[in-house]
């Protein structure tokens, strides 16, 4: 890939003192619009959530340059900080990630393990039943 690399690992000494960590802890700006993208080979499902709430906007983006350009333009037109999160799915995420990164958006690569654990916790939760009397 030519240009900025999509996958970079930054070593940070925060919050564990002198021990380097693989991730950097940061919080989202309160006025940031959050964008979640579900990646697949031929199309991406996009969910846009504004910080003030209200209905979320859903979009389907086909894996074409024209659709990627349209998504970048639509996100730019919002006029607020944008944070885009997506899971690395094979190599399908690379082209869109490069397009959004070159447009100046903040990207967050979300671990597939973290997504699986969250999905499991939300949808397959267990109930603690006390056997004590």
In tens, the pLDDT along 9-65 reads 444 445 555 555 555 666 677 788 999 898 888 988 999 998 888 888 999 999 999
Q: What secondary structure does DSSP assign to 1-66, as a single string? A: --SS-S-----B--SSTTS-BSS------TTPEEEEEE--SSEEEEEEE-TT-SPPEEEEEESSHH
Comparing C-alpha atoms, which of 69, 66, 31 is closest to residue 49?
31
Please report whether residue 73 resides in a domain.
yes
pTM: predicted TM-score of the whole model, two decimal places: 0.66
Please report whether residue 16 resides in a domain.
no
Other CB atoms closer than 10 Å to residue 98's CB: what's the count? 18
What's the structural domain count of the chain?
A: 1
Query: What's the pLDDT at 15?
Result: 54
Q: What is the CATH number of the domain that holds 37?
A: 3.30.420.40
Q: Which residues pair with 21 in a beta bridge?
A: 12
Query: What's the pLDDT at 54?
Result: 84
Determine the structural domain holding residue 43 and report its residue range: 33-123
Please report whether residue 129 resides in a domain.
no
% the chain with pLDDT above 90? 29
Please report whether residue 2 resides in a domain.
no
Please report whether residue 24 resides in a domain.
no
Please report whether residue 60 resides in a domain.
yes
Please report whether residue 111 resides in a domain.
yes
Please report whether residue 89 resides in a domain.
yes
């Amino acid at each position: 890939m030519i240009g900025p690399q999509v996958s970079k690992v930054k070593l940070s000494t925060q919050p564990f003192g002198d021990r380097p960590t693989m991730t950097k802890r940061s919080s989202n700006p309160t006025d940031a619009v959050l964008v979640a993208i579900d990646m697949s080979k031929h199309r991406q499902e996009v969910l846009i959530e504004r910080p003030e709430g209200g209905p979320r906007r859903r979009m389907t983006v086909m894996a074409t340059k024209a659709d990627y350009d349209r998504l970048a333009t639509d996100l730019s037109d919002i006029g607020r900080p944008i944070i885009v999160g997506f899971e690395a799915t094979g190599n399908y995420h690379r082209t869109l990630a490069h397009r959004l990164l070159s447009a100046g958006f903040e990207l967050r690569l979300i671990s597939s393990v973290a997504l699986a654990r969250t999905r499991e916790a939300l949808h397959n939760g267990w109930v603690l039943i006390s056997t004590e009397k």
